[in-house]
Structure 1
Amino acid sequence: DKKPSARMEPERIREGYLVKKGTVLNSWKVVWVVLSDDAIEYYKKKTDSSPKGMIPLNGAKLITPCQDFSKRTLVFKVSTSKNQDHFFQATHMEEREYWIKDIKRAISCLQGGKKFARKSTRRSIRLPDSVNLSELYVLMRDQDTGIKELKLEKEKKIFNHCFSGSTVIDWLISMEKVRNRAEGLMLATGMMNEGFLQPAGELSKQGSESGAESVLLDQPNAVYYFADSGFFCEGYSSDEDTIMKEEFRGAIIKQGCLLKQGHRRKNWKVRKFILRDDPAYIHYYDPCKGEEDPLGSIHLRGSVVTAVEYVPDAKKYDVNGNLFEIITSDEIHYYLQAATAEERKDWIHAIQTVAKTGK
């Protein structure tokens, strides 16, 4: 018969790669993060058995969005009861939302002395925060009933996948999310503060930096885009630029972190991958830096992607399973490693679909 254990192992609520700011140095590094019901642990590598650090959640506060670093969007801050600040950065919007929801929930369960549960069983007495911005964002992105993404010409540039500030307010009113333009501005400003909407042109950028009540401008000339859309801007310049931009035109199908094996030195590094469709490309980035300069791009048309059990030249300790390989039409091999079997399956499926249908 089972012995009752003195302390149940804390439940692993969520785990994954996040970028973390060094506690001493100002450098940002990718770490493997595990959220349990009473702490956040972070590891240098996913395979490490002991964590590099542990952040107790009892009495901690979560601050989001955190605008201490203007160049870095998607940062949130966990402040411990002893006033130590820890800064984490997610690689994309949706991922940040998941982490924030679960950390908030873990903190409030600890405060109330309850066991962690995603859904509160009894109706919370607190008034609901009347608006769920993540849900609103999903509605805005809806292909049929959402905000239409257009190609707009402004300031001698072409902005792709954009819309104007007034369009956002019009949409909020037409969907009966707000009663008037003033309410619409407040809500849209909330969407910008949370990073769901981003300013695209000079005018909208000035608005967002003004520190005024409403940073979103209700003007036809103020241009915005969705945080995870295929936004890009072209100047009227040489053809070469346009060809270069071509590969970023597709809609984003999937994004997230994977381990990638280097071509020359066979070491594994965490990279952020963005899969786009039509044209079919996967770009990879250093997750600690911005998305201006990809480290590389893989053209997927005619490529083959398969799960593999081992990688030639890989050091045993670097590989934790869940490997897959992309072989491009010109015979370049890319070896990647997902965090879980489920994630490997999803990536393979998504890449296969794009490779077949994309141009």
Structure 2
Amino acid sequence: MEPDTIREGYLVKKGTVLNSWKVVWVVLADDGIEFYKKKTDSSPKGMIPLKQAVLTSPCQDFSKRTLVFKVTTEKKQDHFFQATHLEEREAWVKDIKRAIVCLQGGKKFARKSTRRSIRLPETVNLSELYILMKDQDTGVKEMKLEKDKKLFNHCFTGDMVIDWLISEGKVRNRHEGVMLATGLLNEGYLQPAGELSKTAVESNTESVFLDETDAMYYFAESGFFCEGYSSDEDVLVKEEFRGAIVKQGCLMKQGHRRKNWKVRKFILRDDPAYIHYYDPTKGEDPLGSIHLRGSVVTAVDYVPDAKRHDIEGNLFEIITSDEIHYYLQAATAEERTEWIRAIQVVSKSGK
């Protein structure tokens, strides 16, 4: 019998021979992981058997890369994958773990109820805790904080996090709070903002989270940005990054000059309405942005000047108020519909 496909999508994978990271199309079956150079390829570039495999997440082998998880095969071969955002990593990790467990028990793959808590080694569900912390009414309050002639937006201090954990009964004392917050930081749910918290993260101490009024942090999926006068990496003065993240993920994008198609990571923000696109294999600096206010987005059947070998299906077009055309392709029809709806809402409501 053919193995059943459990999940598929774009991930960034580290080469097994070279150290380069490249976008691949990944298919998780109930007995292994196949990865393809292109989604349209008929044969995989490689296959990772899951029998007796071990999954490590988060994987912190790479200091400058977050959202990485590792699959170690029975023959002790390591395979590293990087997701584009937290929810995506969690979904892959959860299904891969389940597939490994089912293989060991000789059972057919079946997802557990999402209502059940994922039991971590510390018996704490960091994913659920993160959602509670982000609640606009009862969570940790995001603020504008000024330090060293810079204004940090959508962030909070270390002591605010510990105060919240204690007040909500998540920990018994500040020491426990620091350990739990360190776990959130290590998993990428919290990010350091400013030199003090960044220096602590780069140290090799057991507790890298600082319970201090001067140590600043922000939620990974927030609209954090910093205004200032210095030239360091914290400074982000562009208005277009202020908006909260509405949707993110990988899409195929046609280049404006060479008209070739490449996988790009897209982040859609509102108020102001912008969609930024990135090289998913590299850092956090965007390759470009599209101002969506007054734009039109529609599904299309073909791209006028696409090359013959370019793939068809699930295409859509964004036409900006300046009459600039962008052609994109989703992996599935459902995904295309979701992106079109999200962009339509933002283009009408955002500034």
Query: Normalising TM by the smaller chain, what interval?
Result: over 0.9
Amino acid at match of 2:316: F
Instruction: Give per-residue Cα distances to partners, 1:299-353, cap 9 Å, x unaligned.
Output: 0011000011111111344223111000000100000000011110110000000
Counterparts in 2 of 1:157 and 1:120: CA distance versus 1, 3 Å: closer
CA distance in 1 between partners of 2:322 and 2:54 (Å): 51
SS in 1 for 2:238: helix
Deviations 1:76-127 (A, max 9, x none): 1111111111110001111111111111111111112111111179x99x99
Task: Output the CA distance in 1 between the equivalents of 2:267 and 2:104.
Answer: 38
Tell me if structure 1 keeps the 8 A contact 2:302–2:312.
no
State the 1:155 CA deviation. Answer: 2.5
TM-score by length of 1: 0.92
Percent sequence identity over aligned pairs: 82
The counterpart of 2:282, out of the listed 276, 286, 289, is: 289
- Alignment gaps of 5+ in structure 1: 1-6
Contact 1:273 1:284 in 2 (8 A): yes
- Taking only aligned residues, the RMSD between alpha carbons, in angstroms, comes to 2.1
Task: Give the corresponding residue for 2:16.
Answer: 23
Q: Which residue does the alignment assign to 2:157? A: 164
CA contact (8 A) 1:282 1:299 kept: yes
Cα offsets for 1:251-296 (capped at 9, x unmatched) = 11111000001111111100000001011000100000111x2111
Looking at structure 2, the residues matched to 26 and 102 of structure 1 have their Cα atoms a distance apart, in angstroms, of 26
Give the drift of 1:242.
Answer: 8.9
**Aligned residue identity for 2:176:** E
Secondary structure at the counterpart of residue 341 of structure 2: helix
Name the amino acid aligned to 2:293: R
Change (3 A) 1:127 1:268: closer
Q: Which of these residues, 156, 166, 171, is aligned with residue 173 of structure 1?
A: 166
Distance 2:235 2:3 in 1: 52
Q: TM-score, normalized by length of structure 2? A: 0.94
Q: Distance in 2 between matches of 1:109 and 1:160?
A: 45
1:350 corresponds to which residue?
342
Partners in 2 of 1:117 and 1:192 — Cα distance? 31
Partner of 1:3: none
| Equivalent residue letter for 1:272 | K
Q: CA deviation at 1:245?
A: 1.3
Matched-pair contact (CA < 8 Å) for 2:316–2:327: yes
Letter matched to residue 149 of structure 2: K
Among residues 186, 200, 208, which one is paired with 1:215 in the alignment? 208
Distance in 1, matches of 2:236 and 2:99, equals 47
* Alpha-carbon distance between aligned partners in 1 of 2:272 and 2:133, rounded to the nearest angstrom: 24
Instruction: Tell me, yes or no, if the aligned pair for 1:18 and 1:30 is still in contact at 8 Å.
Output: yes
List alignment gaps of at least 5 residues for structure 2.
Answer: none
Asked if the contact 2:228–2:237 (Cα under 8 Å) also holds between the matched residues in 1, the reply is no
Partner of 2:252: 259
Match of 1:118 in 2: 111
1:56 aligns with 2:59: no
- Which residue pairs with 1:135 in the alignment? 128
Q: Is the 8 A contact 2:158 2:215 kept in 1?
A: yes
Moved over 3 A (4+): 126-129, 241-244
Match of 1:185 among 168, 178, 182: 178
Work out whether residues 15 and 33 of structure 1, in 8 Å CA contact, stay in contact via their aligned partners in 2: yes
Is 1:332 aligned to 2:324, yes or no?
Answer: yes
